[in-house]
Amino acid sequence: MYYIYMLNKKLLKIDQENAFSTASAYVKEYKQAHPEKDVISLGIGDVSKPIVAPVIAAMHKAVDDLADMKTFSGYGNYYGIDELRQTIVDNDYRGLGISKEEVYVSDGTKTDSTNLLELFDINDKILLGNPTYPIYRNGAFALGREVYYTDCDSNYKMIVPNEHYDIIYICSPSNPIGIAYTYDDLQKWIDYALKEKAVIIYDNVYSCFITSEDVPKSIYEISGSKNCCIELNSFSKRASFTGLRCSYFVLPKEIDDKLFKERTINRFNGASYVAQKGAVATYLPESKILLEANLKAYKDNIKYLKDSFIKMGFEVVGGDDSPYIWVKIKENIKSFDYFKLLLNEISVVVVPGAIFGQSGDDHFRVSGLGSIENSKEAVKRIMRYYEEKN
Ligand SMILES: Cc1ncc(COP(=O)(O)O)c(C=O)c1O
Protein backbone atom coordinates (compact mmCIF):
# COMPACT_ATOMS: atom_id res chain seq x y z
CA MET A 1 0.00 0.00 0.00
CA TYR A 2 1.19 3.53 -0.80
CA TYR A 3 3.19 5.06 2.10
CA ILE A 4 0.91 3.63 4.80
CA TYR A 5 2.41 5.90 7.44
CA MET A 6 0.95 8.88 5.57
CA LEU A 7 -2.60 7.55 5.42
CA ASN A 8 -5.47 8.14 7.84
CA LYS A 9 -5.23 4.95 9.90
CA LYS A 10 -8.66 5.58 11.42
CA LEU A 11 -10.06 4.54 8.02
CA LEU A 12 -8.86 1.03 8.82
CA LYS A 13 -11.40 1.01 11.66
CA ILE A 14 -14.32 1.01 9.22
CA ASP A 15 -15.78 -2.48 9.51
CA GLN A 16 -15.85 -3.61 5.90
CA GLU A 17 -17.06 -7.07 6.75
CA ASN A 18 -20.28 -5.83 8.35
CA ALA A 19 -21.13 -3.12 5.85
CA PHE A 20 -24.01 -2.18 3.54
CA SER A 21 -21.62 -2.56 0.60
CA THR A 22 -20.79 -6.15 1.61
CA ALA A 23 -24.48 -7.06 1.83
CA SER A 24 -25.18 -5.35 -1.52
CA ALA A 25 -22.28 -7.16 -3.19
CA TYR A 26 -23.62 -10.46 -1.88
CA VAL A 27 -27.11 -9.71 -3.31
CA LYS A 28 -25.57 -8.70 -6.64
CA GLU A 29 -23.60 -11.95 -6.84
CA TYR A 30 -26.71 -13.96 -5.96
CA LYS A 31 -28.73 -12.23 -8.70
CA GLN A 32 -25.98 -12.91 -11.26
CA ALA A 33 -25.80 -16.59 -10.27
CA HIS A 34 -29.62 -16.96 -10.26
CA PRO A 35 -31.04 -14.72 -13.01
CA GLU A 36 -34.29 -16.75 -12.92
CA LYS A 37 -35.03 -15.79 -9.28
CA ASP A 38 -37.32 -12.86 -8.45
CA VAL A 39 -35.39 -11.20 -5.60
CA ILE A 40 -37.49 -8.98 -3.31
CA SER A 41 -35.83 -6.44 -1.07
CA LEU A 42 -37.34 -5.52 2.28
CA GLY A 43 -34.04 -3.82 2.98
CA ILE A 44 -34.18 -0.70 0.89
CA GLY A 45 -33.51 2.64 2.51
CA ASP A 46 -34.27 4.36 -0.79
CA VAL A 47 -37.74 5.61 -1.71
CA SER A 48 -40.05 3.99 -4.26
CA LYS A 49 -42.15 7.05 -5.24
CA PRO A 50 -40.99 9.63 -7.80
CA ILE A 51 -40.63 13.36 -7.10
CA VAL A 52 -44.08 15.01 -7.21
CA ALA A 53 -45.20 17.08 -10.23
CA PRO A 54 -45.21 20.63 -8.69
CA VAL A 55 -41.60 20.11 -7.56
CA ILE A 56 -40.56 18.88 -11.00
CA ALA A 57 -42.26 21.93 -12.56
CA ALA A 58 -40.39 24.29 -10.20
CA MET A 59 -37.10 22.65 -11.13
CA HIS A 60 -37.82 23.02 -14.88
CA LYS A 61 -38.37 26.71 -14.21
CA ALA A 62 -35.12 26.84 -12.18
CA VAL A 63 -33.21 25.37 -15.13
CA ASP A 64 -34.62 28.17 -17.31
CA ASP A 65 -33.47 30.74 -14.70
CA LEU A 66 -29.93 29.56 -15.31
CA ALA A 67 -30.26 30.18 -19.07
CA ASP A 68 -30.58 33.95 -18.62
CA MET A 69 -28.11 36.18 -16.73
CA LYS A 70 -31.05 38.27 -15.45
CA THR A 71 -32.25 35.29 -13.40
CA PHE A 72 -28.98 33.33 -13.18
CA SER A 73 -27.79 32.17 -9.76
CA GLY A 74 -24.11 31.41 -9.19
CA TYR A 75 -21.50 31.49 -6.43
CA GLY A 76 -22.17 33.08 -3.08
CA ASN A 77 -25.08 31.19 -1.55
CA TYR A 78 -22.84 29.23 0.81
CA TYR A 79 -25.60 28.59 3.36
CA GLY A 80 -28.43 28.18 0.86
CA ILE A 81 -30.67 30.55 -1.08
CA ASP A 82 -32.60 32.93 1.20
CA GLU A 83 -35.95 31.82 -0.21
CA LEU A 84 -35.40 28.24 0.91
CA ARG A 85 -33.92 29.16 4.31
CA GLN A 86 -36.93 31.41 5.03
CA THR A 87 -39.41 28.80 3.75
CA ILE A 88 -37.88 26.21 6.08
CA VAL A 89 -38.18 28.58 9.06
CA ASP A 90 -41.79 29.51 8.19
CA ASN A 91 -42.89 25.89 7.78
CA ASP A 92 -40.72 23.63 9.96
CA TYR A 93 -39.83 26.02 12.79
CA ARG A 94 -42.82 28.37 13.06
CA GLY A 95 -43.02 29.70 16.61
CA LEU A 96 -39.83 27.91 17.72
CA GLY A 97 -37.54 30.95 17.74
CA ILE A 98 -35.30 29.85 14.86
CA SER A 99 -34.12 32.49 12.37
CA LYS A 100 -33.12 32.03 8.74
CA GLU A 101 -29.48 32.86 9.64
CA GLU A 102 -29.41 29.71 11.77
CA VAL A 103 -30.46 27.46 8.84
CA TYR A 104 -27.72 25.97 6.64
CA VAL A 105 -28.77 24.27 3.40
CA SER A 106 -26.60 21.52 2.05
CA ASP A 107 -26.51 18.50 -0.26
CA GLY A 108 -27.39 15.68 2.13
CA THR A 109 -27.58 14.73 5.78
CA LYS A 110 -25.11 11.89 5.26
CA THR A 111 -22.39 14.47 4.60
CA ASP A 112 -23.75 17.09 7.04
CA SER A 113 -23.88 14.67 9.97
CA THR A 114 -20.12 14.32 10.20
CA ASN A 115 -18.99 17.47 8.33
CA LEU A 116 -20.38 19.27 11.36
CA LEU A 117 -17.55 17.74 13.40
CA GLU A 118 -15.29 20.33 11.76
CA LEU A 119 -16.83 22.81 14.20
CA PHE A 120 -15.46 20.85 17.16
CA ASP A 121 -12.09 20.01 18.60
CA ILE A 122 -10.40 16.89 17.23
CA ASN A 123 -10.15 15.44 20.75
CA ASP A 124 -13.79 15.99 21.69
CA LYS A 125 -15.36 12.74 22.83
CA ILE A 126 -18.13 11.54 20.50
CA LEU A 127 -20.89 9.31 21.85
CA LEU A 128 -23.02 7.06 19.63
CA GLY A 129 -25.82 4.62 20.32
CA ASN A 130 -25.21 0.91 19.94
CA PRO A 131 -26.67 0.08 17.42
CA THR A 132 -26.28 3.29 15.42
CA TYR A 133 -26.67 4.68 11.89
CA PRO A 134 -23.19 3.57 10.76
CA ILE A 135 -22.36 6.78 8.92
CA TYR A 136 -21.83 8.65 12.24
CA ARG A 137 -19.16 6.13 13.18
CA ASN A 138 -17.50 5.72 9.79
CA GLY A 139 -17.78 9.42 8.91
CA ALA A 140 -16.07 10.27 12.21
CA PHE A 141 -13.28 7.80 11.42
CA ALA A 142 -12.87 9.39 7.98
CA LEU A 143 -12.26 12.69 9.79
CA GLY A 144 -9.68 11.06 12.05
CA ARG A 145 -11.94 11.04 15.13
CA GLU A 146 -12.51 8.42 17.80
CA VAL A 147 -16.00 7.36 18.91
CA TYR A 148 -17.52 5.82 22.04
CA TYR A 149 -20.78 3.95 22.53
CA THR A 150 -23.69 3.79 24.93
CA ASP A 151 -25.99 0.77 24.90
CA CYS A 152 -29.75 0.89 24.62
CA ASP A 153 -32.14 0.25 27.52
CA SER A 154 -34.99 -2.25 27.38
CA ASN A 155 -37.05 0.28 25.36
CA TYR A 156 -34.27 0.47 22.76
CA LYS A 157 -33.35 4.04 23.76
CA MET A 158 -29.74 5.14 24.29
CA ILE A 159 -28.76 5.11 27.97
CA VAL A 160 -27.67 8.53 29.32
CA PRO A 161 -24.09 7.99 30.55
CA ASN A 162 -22.58 8.93 33.91
CA GLU A 163 -19.28 10.02 32.31
CA HIS A 164 -18.52 13.14 30.28
CA TYR A 165 -18.89 13.24 26.49
CA ASP A 166 -18.72 16.32 24.26
CA ILE A 167 -20.79 15.38 21.20
CA ILE A 168 -23.76 13.04 21.22
CA TYR A 169 -25.52 11.70 18.14
CA ILE A 170 -29.22 10.98 18.55
CA CYS A 171 -31.24 9.70 15.61
CA SER A 172 -34.98 10.01 16.16
CA PRO A 173 -37.07 8.49 14.67
CA SER A 174 -34.22 6.07 14.71
CA ASN A 175 -32.45 4.25 11.96
CA PRO A 176 -32.16 1.26 12.36
CA ILE A 177 -34.50 0.60 15.32
CA GLY A 178 -37.50 2.54 14.06
CA ILE A 179 -38.51 3.90 17.50
CA ALA A 180 -38.78 7.62 18.32
CA TYR A 181 -37.64 9.55 21.40
CA THR A 182 -40.41 11.24 23.38
CA TYR A 183 -40.34 14.74 24.91
CA ASP A 184 -39.37 13.15 28.23
CA ASP A 185 -36.58 11.02 26.70
CA LEU A 186 -35.11 14.06 24.99
CA GLN A 187 -35.41 16.32 28.03
CA LYS A 188 -33.07 13.90 29.87
CA TRP A 189 -30.48 14.20 27.10
CA ILE A 190 -30.80 17.99 26.97
CA ASP A 191 -30.34 18.18 30.75
CA TYR A 192 -27.24 15.99 30.41
CA ALA A 193 -25.86 18.12 27.56
CA LEU A 194 -26.42 21.38 29.45
CA LYS A 195 -24.78 19.97 32.58
CA GLU A 196 -21.78 18.60 30.64
CA LYS A 197 -21.58 21.55 28.18
CA ALA A 198 -21.98 18.97 25.44
CA VAL A 199 -23.67 19.28 22.04
CA ILE A 200 -26.35 16.95 20.68
CA ILE A 201 -26.39 16.33 16.93
CA TYR A 202 -30.03 15.44 16.42
CA ASP A 203 -30.73 13.58 13.17
CA ASN A 204 -34.38 14.18 12.41
CA VAL A 205 -34.53 13.01 8.77
CA TYR A 206 -37.45 10.69 9.50
CA SER A 207 -39.56 13.36 11.28
CA CYS A 208 -42.14 13.23 8.47
CA PHE A 209 -43.11 9.75 9.72
CA ILE A 210 -43.93 10.87 13.28
CA THR A 211 -47.51 10.19 14.36
CA SER A 212 -47.19 9.76 18.18
CA GLU A 213 -48.29 12.80 20.13
CA ASP A 214 -45.56 12.46 22.74
CA VAL A 215 -42.81 12.73 20.10
CA PRO A 216 -41.66 16.23 19.04
CA LYS A 217 -41.39 17.07 15.33
CA SER A 218 -38.35 19.18 16.19
CA ILE A 219 -35.92 19.12 19.12
CA TYR A 220 -36.44 22.91 19.45
CA GLU A 221 -39.88 22.25 20.93
CA ILE A 222 -37.99 21.31 24.11
CA SER A 223 -36.71 23.92 26.54
CA GLY A 224 -32.94 24.37 26.73
CA SER A 225 -32.40 22.77 23.31
CA LYS A 226 -31.26 25.94 21.53
CA ASN A 227 -28.24 26.04 23.82
CA CYS A 228 -27.02 22.56 23.01
CA CYS A 229 -28.72 20.96 19.96
CA ILE A 230 -27.99 21.01 16.25
CA GLU A 231 -30.87 19.55 14.26
CA LEU A 232 -30.42 17.86 10.88
CA ASN A 233 -33.13 17.26 8.32
CA SER A 234 -33.32 16.25 4.67
CA PHE A 235 -35.65 16.28 1.68
CA SER A 236 -34.50 12.74 0.80
CA LYS A 237 -37.19 10.64 2.44
CA ARG A 238 -39.94 13.21 2.74
CA ALA A 239 -39.84 14.34 -0.90
CA SER A 240 -37.87 11.63 -2.77
CA PHE A 241 -34.71 13.77 -3.10
CA THR A 242 -32.42 10.76 -2.55
CA GLY A 243 -30.81 11.27 -5.98
CA LEU A 244 -31.46 15.01 -6.33
CA ARG A 245 -29.75 15.86 -2.99
CA CYS A 246 -30.86 18.65 -0.66
CA SER A 247 -30.74 18.85 3.12
CA TYR A 248 -30.48 21.41 5.89
CA PHE A 249 -29.48 21.76 9.49
CA VAL A 250 -30.11 24.30 12.21
CA LEU A 251 -27.06 25.53 14.10
CA PRO A 252 -28.45 27.89 16.77
CA LYS A 253 -26.54 31.11 17.33
CA GLU A 254 -26.32 30.21 21.02
CA ILE A 255 -23.88 27.43 19.97
CA ASP A 256 -22.05 29.24 17.15
CA ASP A 257 -22.77 32.16 14.87
CA LYS A 258 -19.41 32.72 13.24
CA LEU A 259 -16.95 29.85 13.09
CA PHE A 260 -19.08 27.46 11.05
CA LYS A 261 -20.05 30.24 8.62
CA GLU A 262 -16.37 30.97 8.09
CA ARG A 263 -15.62 27.26 7.76
CA THR A 264 -18.41 26.83 5.19
CA ILE A 265 -17.24 29.69 2.97
CA ASN A 266 -13.92 27.85 2.76
CA ARG A 267 -15.26 24.32 2.39
CA PHE A 268 -18.54 24.43 0.44
CA ASN A 269 -19.88 26.44 -2.48
CA GLY A 270 -23.52 25.77 -1.70
CA ALA A 271 -26.17 23.24 -2.70
CA SER A 272 -27.46 23.00 -6.27
CA TYR A 273 -29.71 25.94 -7.19
CA VAL A 274 -32.11 23.64 -9.07
CA ALA A 275 -32.42 21.26 -6.10
CA GLN A 276 -33.03 24.18 -3.72
CA LYS A 277 -35.80 25.61 -5.91
CA GLY A 278 -37.28 22.11 -5.94
CA ALA A 279 -37.05 22.00 -2.14
CA VAL A 280 -38.93 25.33 -1.87
CA ALA A 281 -41.71 23.81 -4.01
CA THR A 282 -42.12 20.86 -1.62
CA TYR A 283 -43.85 23.33 0.73
CA LEU A 284 -46.52 24.37 -1.84
CA PRO A 285 -50.02 23.31 -0.74
CA GLU A 286 -50.44 21.18 -3.88
CA SER A 287 -47.10 19.42 -3.17
CA LYS A 288 -48.00 18.81 0.46
CA ILE A 289 -51.14 16.89 -0.55
CA LEU A 290 -49.17 14.64 -2.91
CA LEU A 291 -46.32 14.11 -0.43
CA GLU A 292 -48.79 13.20 2.32
CA ALA A 293 -50.26 10.53 0.03
CA ASN A 294 -46.77 9.07 -0.60
CA LEU A 295 -46.01 9.06 3.12
CA LYS A 296 -49.30 7.36 3.85
CA ALA A 297 -48.40 4.55 1.44
CA TYR A 298 -45.06 4.01 3.25
CA LYS A 299 -46.77 4.15 6.65
CA ASP A 300 -49.42 1.63 5.57
CA ASN A 301 -46.69 -0.60 4.21
CA ILE A 302 -44.61 -0.63 7.40
CA LYS A 303 -47.75 -1.22 9.47
CA TYR A 304 -48.58 -4.21 7.30
CA LEU A 305 -45.03 -5.54 7.68
CA LYS A 306 -45.01 -5.00 11.45
CA ASP A 307 -48.33 -6.79 11.90
CA SER A 308 -47.20 -9.63 9.64
CA PHE A 309 -43.88 -10.23 11.43
CA ILE A 310 -45.67 -10.18 14.80
CA LYS A 311 -48.20 -12.70 13.43
CA MET A 312 -45.29 -14.90 12.34
CA GLY A 313 -44.06 -14.94 15.93
CA PHE A 314 -41.17 -12.46 15.70
CA GLU A 315 -40.32 -9.90 18.38
CA VAL A 316 -40.65 -6.53 16.61
CA VAL A 317 -40.10 -2.88 17.60
CA GLY A 318 -40.44 0.40 15.69
CA GLY A 319 -42.59 1.24 12.71
CA ASP A 320 -45.07 3.55 14.47
CA ASP A 321 -43.14 6.77 13.80
CA SER A 322 -40.69 5.46 11.24
CA PRO A 323 -40.49 3.53 7.96
CA TYR A 324 -38.37 0.86 9.69
CA ILE A 325 -38.98 -2.08 12.02
CA TRP A 326 -36.29 -3.90 13.97
CA VAL A 327 -36.90 -7.62 14.13
CA LYS A 328 -35.27 -10.16 16.46
CA ILE A 329 -33.89 -13.28 14.77
CA LYS A 330 -35.65 -16.36 16.14
CA GLU A 331 -32.81 -18.76 15.36
CA ASN A 332 -29.55 -18.69 17.26
CA ILE A 333 -27.56 -17.36 14.29
CA LYS A 334 -25.77 -14.14 13.45
CA SER A 335 -27.47 -11.47 11.37
CA PHE A 336 -25.31 -11.84 8.23
CA ASP A 337 -25.94 -15.61 8.29
CA TYR A 338 -29.68 -14.99 8.62
CA PHE A 339 -29.55 -12.48 5.76
CA LYS A 340 -27.82 -15.10 3.57
CA LEU A 341 -30.28 -17.78 4.63
CA LEU A 342 -33.34 -15.75 3.60
CA LEU A 343 -31.69 -14.77 0.33
CA ASN A 344 -30.60 -18.29 -0.58
CA GLU A 345 -33.80 -20.03 0.54
CA ILE A 346 -36.53 -17.61 -0.57
CA SER A 347 -34.81 -14.73 -2.45
CA VAL A 348 -35.84 -12.12 0.15
CA VAL A 349 -33.41 -9.39 1.28
CA VAL A 350 -33.35 -7.90 4.78
CA VAL A 351 -30.65 -5.73 6.34
CA PRO A 352 -28.36 -7.58 8.81
CA GLY A 353 -28.34 -5.82 12.19
CA ALA A 354 -24.53 -6.14 12.52
CA ILE A 355 -24.17 -3.32 9.98
CA PHE A 356 -25.36 -0.99 12.74
CA GLY A 357 -23.01 -2.37 15.41
CA GLN A 358 -22.28 -5.63 17.16
CA SER A 359 -25.23 -5.22 19.53
CA GLY A 360 -27.48 -5.44 16.47
CA ASP A 361 -26.16 -8.85 15.47
CA ASP A 362 -29.28 -10.69 16.69
CA HIS A 363 -31.65 -8.45 14.71
CA PHE A 364 -32.46 -7.44 11.15
CA ARG A 365 -34.00 -4.26 9.76
CA VAL A 366 -37.06 -4.24 7.52
CA SER A 367 -38.11 -1.17 5.52
CA GLY A 368 -41.55 0.04 4.48
CA LEU A 369 -40.15 2.33 1.78
CA GLY A 370 -40.75 -0.28 -0.92
CA SER A 371 -44.07 -1.27 -2.46
CA ILE A 372 -46.90 -3.04 -0.63
CA GLU A 373 -47.07 -5.68 -3.42
CA ASN A 374 -43.45 -6.65 -2.77
CA SER A 375 -44.07 -6.71 0.99
CA LYS A 376 -47.02 -9.07 0.55
CA GLU A 377 -45.01 -11.44 -1.63
CA ALA A 378 -42.05 -11.38 0.79
CA VAL A 379 -44.30 -12.09 3.79
CA LYS A 380 -45.91 -14.99 1.90
CA ARG A 381 -42.47 -16.50 1.22
CA ILE A 382 -41.26 -16.07 4.82
CA MET A 383 -44.47 -17.58 6.15
CA ARG A 384 -44.15 -20.57 3.82
CA TYR A 385 -40.48 -21.02 4.75
CA TYR A 386 -41.32 -21.32 8.46
CA GLU A 387 -44.35 -23.55 7.81
CA GLU A 388 -42.21 -25.98 5.80
CA LYS A 389 -39.44 -25.86 8.38
CA ASN A 390 -41.68 -26.66 11.35
C1 LIG B 1 -30.50 8.41 9.88
C2 LIG B 1 -30.16 8.88 8.52
N3 LIG B 1 -29.56 10.08 8.39
C4 LIG B 1 -29.22 10.53 7.16
C5 LIG B 1 -29.48 9.81 6.03
C6 LIG B 1 -29.03 10.30 4.70
O7 LIG B 1 -29.77 11.38 4.26
P8 LIG B 1 -29.39 12.17 2.93
O9 LIG B 1 -30.00 11.44 1.79
O10 LIG B 1 -29.96 13.54 3.14
O11 LIG B 1 -27.89 12.21 2.82
C12 LIG B 1 -30.12 8.57 6.12
C13 LIG B 1 -30.38 7.77 4.91
O14 LIG B 1 -30.84 6.67 4.89
C15 LIG B 1 -30.46 8.10 7.40
O16 LIG B 1 -31.05 6.91 7.56
Domains contained in the chain, number: 2
pLDDT of 2: 65
Alpha carbon distance 334, 282 (integer Å): 41
Backbone dihedral angles phi then psi of residue 41, each to the nearest 5 degrees: -105, 120
Which residues sit opposite 129 in a β-bridge? 150
pLDDT of residue 369: 96
Residues 86 and 228 in one domain: yes
Q: Can you give the C-alpha Rg of the chain in angstroms?
A: 21
Q: What pLDDT digit, counting tens, does each position of 352-389 carry?
A: 999 999 999 999 999 999 999 999 999 999 999 999 98
255 and 334 both lie in a single domain: no
> What is the distance in A from the centroid of ligand 1 to the CA of 63?
26
Beta sheet of 324-328, edge-to-edge order: 316-318, 324-328, 363-367, 351-352
Same domain, yes or no: 295 and 254 = no
Residues 189 and 323 in one domain: no
Domain match, 295 and 220 both: no
Atom of ligand 1 nearest to the CA of 174: 1
Confidence class for position 4, pLDDT limits 50, 70, 90: confident
Identify the CA nearest to 318 among candidates 197, 190, 210, 180.
180
Measure 305 CA to ligand 1 centroid, in angstroms. 22
- Is any ligand 1 atom within 6 A of the Cβ of residue 44? no
- 34 with 123, same domain: the answer is no
| Ligand 1 atom at minimum distance from 235 CA | 10
User: Which has more pLDDT, 44 or 242?
Assistant: 242
Mutate to test the pocket of ligand 1, among 135, 248, 326 (most ligand atoms within 8 A of CB): 135
- Give residue 73's pLDDT: 97
> pLDDT at position 334, please?
97
**Is any atom of ligand 1 closer than 6 Å to the C-beta of 242?**
yes
Ligand 1 atom at minimal distance to the Cα of residue 237: 9
Query: How much of the chain exceeds pLDDT 70, in percent?
Result: 99
Please report the pLDDT score of residue 1 as a whole number: 57
133 lines ligand 1 (CB under 6 A): yes
Residues 215 and 256 both lie in one domain: yes
20 lines ligand 1 (CB under 6 A): no
Pair (98, 210) in one structural domain:
yes
Average pLDDT rounded to a whole number, residues 145-162: 96
Q: How many angstroms is it from 205 CA to the middle of ligand 1?
A: 6
Domain housing 364: 4-50+287-389
Which of 105, 107, 133 to mutate for ligand 1's pocket (most ligand atoms within 8 Å of CB)? 133
% of the chain exceeding 90 in pLDDT: 95
Q: What is the mean pLDDT of the chain?
A: 96
What amino acid occupies position 362? Answer: D
Averaged pLDDT, 133-145: 96
Please state, in angstroms and rounded to a whole number, the distance separating the CA atoms of residues 207 and 237. 10
pLDDT digits (tens, 9 = 90+) for 80-110: 999 999 999 999 999 999 999 999 999 999 9
- The response to whether residue 161 sits with its C-beta less than 6 Å from ligand 1 reads no
Q: Which residues pair with 40 in a beta bridge?
A: 348
Does the beta carbon of 273 sit less than 6 angstroms from any atom of ligand 1? no
CATH of the domain at 348: 3.90.1150.10
Supply the CATH number for residue 202's domain. 3.40.640.10
| Mean per-residue pLDDT, 15-33 | 92
- Average pLDDT (2-9) is 79
- Both 120 and 200 in one domain: the answer is yes
